[in-house]
A and B are shown apart, each in its own frame.
Chain A
Amino acid sequence: MQYLVSVIFDSAALASEEEQAAIDVFNDRLQAEGHWVFAGGLGAPSSATVIDNRGEEAMFSDGPFVESKEFIAGFWIIEAPDLDVALKLAAEGSRACNRKVEVRPFL
């Protein structure tokens, strides 16, 4: 079972050196224990473009999250047998990156 662990943050500030080091340690552990699927940091919401091609032609606009206070700053996709394991890993991830995270199952 895979879970999306979204990092929720409220500024465009990148991870500090200390945070990055902790994230690396956490990532190594995810890989060593077989939980790693993928992870990455994301640019600020101001760098996002929304495309709507449901009509006659594709419309481009700034993202709907530009004005929102909190946004997704990055994510992990992890493999875990159940939510208990996913929550424990997510709690460690939150500690490592020093930000809130949200856990959501893939369908």
Chain B
Amino acid sequence: MSVVDARAAVTQAHHEEWARVVASLTRRFGDLDIAEEAAAEAFATAVERWPADGVPPNPGAWLTTTANRKAIDRIRRESKRDDKQKEAQLLYDDGPPEPLGAIDDERLRLIFTCCHPALAMETRVALTLRMVAGLTVPEIARAFLVQEAAMARRITRAKDKIRSARIPYRVPSAEDLPARRSGVLAVLFLVFNEGYLATGPQTDPVRHDLTAEAIRLTRLIRSLMPQDGEVAGLLALMLLTEARRTARVSASGELVPLDEQDRGAWDTALIAEGHRLVRERLAAAAAGVAPGRYQVLAAINAVHTSARDIRDTDWSQVVALYDQLVRLDHSPIIALNRAIAVAELDGPEVALAAVDHLEDRLAGYHAYHATRAELLRRLGHSRQSRAAYDKAIDLAANTAEIAYLTRRRDQLG
């Protein structure tokens, strides 16, 4: 086996097995910190050993067993200092890893613990990205626009709180489930977005593993909460976005905007499934159930994916949906996206005025500058447009987006 093949196998195993390993170790040892560290050590061992020994026939089982051993080693090391009794207990518990089968529940348990309401929202997202999605601390720090050291502290504090305040490791009771799902959905949406617009010079522009993971977990939650409109809405939103994934990046690794995408390359099965979910929610809305933000976002994407080409898009419908959305979600990013739709309906000048209002809140966000650059270009203000592209390129972290913005800038006269 070549070193390259073994590395690829470790990467694949990391994508597929990380959350399972962490979840099963957390269940067994009752401690996220031990589970995370042991899982990381097991993967590091795989990087060392697999090129020489070959990839084991069942990488997941190998990793879980190795991580279990690492965790027991650590607990023995620590217990030597204080408590011989604990060591005896551990030896007694040194059984085989959890059987496969309870895996989905394990991961769900891990998700609900990471998304516990006693943790701050930003902490829940960070913890889920680390523990469930297996992102590294630098990747998470970039996704949040904060320093790595600050992110590492945030995650450590969260683990300490879970342990010392005894946040339970379980799926909430049926009674608590609806209230607990909002935080989980917000986290899954963020994981999806990190996959959809992955950050970092060494990262693929679209990380299908993350989008697939977010979709898989959202499907799982939908199977548990089939009546929940927002779960259906989020799943539809993800499917309709994922359907365009392959058309979104060119062969040369450049981002392809919606109006230039080859619509024939969109995944019709995902679109059909997404549209079915949106229709289901529209029927519920017609019956008087007010839709939440994910359902409205899904409806916007349903309008886009129903159009044969960009000129065929029902922009008045898109803007009407954004009007509905800004009442539910006061985020400046929603306002920015509304302005992009307004440009198609009322022209770039009206849109630019709306975008300029957002400067205070979005000056550090690359898409704000990219949107301004595009509108300024359409209005013929080349010099200002170039300056806005420069800022956008400077702030952007997705390789495909940087390539696209650079080309657009260089096309300016």
With a cutoff of 8 Å between Cβ atoms, the chain A residues found around residue B289 in the complex are none
Q: Which of B147-155, B160-168, B227-235, B352-360 contacts A (4 or more CB under 8 A)?
A: B160-168
Determine whether the beta carbon of B166 is less than 8 Å from that of A1.
Answer: yes
Is there a chain A Cβ closer than 8 Å to B44's Cβ?
no
Q: Does B118 contact A (CB under 8 A)?
A: yes
Point out which of B117, B166, B168 has the most chain A C-beta atoms below 10 A from its C-beta: B166
Q: What residues of A have a CB within 8 angstroms of the CB of B176 in the complex? A: 84
Q: In the bound complex, do residue B164 and residue A107 qualify as a contact, i.e. CB atoms below 8 Å apart?
A: yes
For the complex, give the distance between the alpha carbons of A87 and B116 in Å: 11
Residues of B within 8 A of A107 (CB): 164
Asked if A83 lies at the interface with its beta carbon under 8 angstroms from chain B, I say yes
Residues of B within 8 A of A62 (CB): none
Set of chain B residues within 8 Å of A84, measured between Cβ atoms: 167-168, 172, 176
0 or 1 for each of B108-121: is its CB under 8 Å from A? (1 = yes): 00000000111000
CB distance B166 to A105 under 8 Å?
Answer: yes
Residue of chain A at shortest CB distance from B162: A83
Q: State whether B166 touches A82 (Cβ < 8 A).
A: yes
Q: Report, as a range, how many residues of chain A touch the other chain.
A: 10 to 19
Contact B168 A105 (CB under 8 A): no
- When C-beta atoms are compared, the residue in chain A nearest to B164 turns out to be A105
* Whole-angstrom distance between the Cβ of A6 and the nearest chain B Cβ: 14
Q: How far is the CA of A1 from the CA of B164 in the complex (A)?
A: 10
Write the A39-52 contact mask toward B (1 if CB under 8 angstroms, else 0): 00000000000000
Q: What is the CA–CA distance of A96 and B353 in the complex, to the nearest angstrom?
A: 50
- Name B163's closest neighbour in chain A (CB-CB): A105
Chain B residue with minimal CB distance to A1?
B166
Which of A83, A103, A104 makes the CB contact (< 8 A) with B168? A83
Residues of B154-183 whose CB lies within 8 A of A = 164-168, 172, 176
Q: Is the CB of A87 within 8 A of B168?
A: no
Is the interface on chain B under 10, 10 to 19, 20 to 34, or 35 or more residues? Answer: 10 to 19
Q: How far is the CA of A84 from the CA of B116 in the complex (A)?
A: 9
Q: With a CB–CB cut-off of 8 A, which chain B residues contact A87?
A: 117-118
Chain A's nearest CB lies how many Å from the CB of B110?
A: 16
Which residues of A in the span 65-107 have a Cβ within 8 Å of any Cβ on B? 81-84, 86-87, 103-105, 107
Contact check, B167 vs A82: say whether CB atoms are below 8 A apart.
yes
For the complex formed, measure the closest distance between the CB of B191 and the CB atoms of chain A, giving whole angstroms.
Answer: 24
Q: Tell me the complex Cα distance, A83–B116, Å.
A: 10
Contacts of B164 in A (CB 8 A): 105, 107
Query: From A87, which residue of chain B is reached at the shortest CB distance?
Result: B118
State in angstroms the CA–CA spacing of A106 and B166 once bound together.
10
Q: Is A82 a contact of B168 with CB atoms below 8 Å?
A: yes
A103 to B117, CA, bound (A): 13
A58 to B288 alpha-carbon distance, docked (Å): 70
Query: Which residue on A lies nearest to B169, using beta carbons?
Result: A82
Distance in Å: Cβ of B113 to nearest Cβ of chain A = 11
CA A107 – CA B165 in complex, angstroms? 9
Compute how far the CA of A87 lies from the CA of B176 in the bound complex, rounded to whole angstroms.
12
B117 surroundings in chain A (CB, below 8 A): 87
Chain A: which residue is nearest B167 at the CB level? A83
Which of chain B's residues have a CB closer than 8 A to the CB of A83? 116, 118, 165-168
Which chain A residues border B116 with CB–CB below 8 Å? Answer: 83
Cβ distance A99 to chain B, nearest Cβ, rounded Å: 19
Output the least CB separation between B171 and chain A (Å): 11
| Distance in angstroms between the alpha carbons of A82 and B166 in the assembled complex | 5
Cα–Cα distance between A104 and B166 once the two chains are bound (Å): 10
Cβ of A20 to closest chain B Cβ, rounded Å: 29
Q: Shortest beta-carbon distance, B108 to chain A, in Å?
A: 16
B396 to chain A, nearest CB (A): 40
22 contacts between A and B (CB under 8 A): A1-B166, A81-B166, A82-B166, A82-B167, A83-B116, A83-B118, A83-B165, A83-B166, A83-B167, A83-B168, A84-B167, A84-B168, A84-B172, A84-B176, A86-B165, A87-B117, A87-B118, A103-B165, A104-B165, A105-B164, A105-B166, A107-B164
Residues of A within 8 A of B (CB): 1, 81-84, 86-87, 103-105, 107
Going nearest first, the 4 A-B pairs with the smallest beta carbon separation are: A82-B168, A105-B165, A82-B166, A83-B167
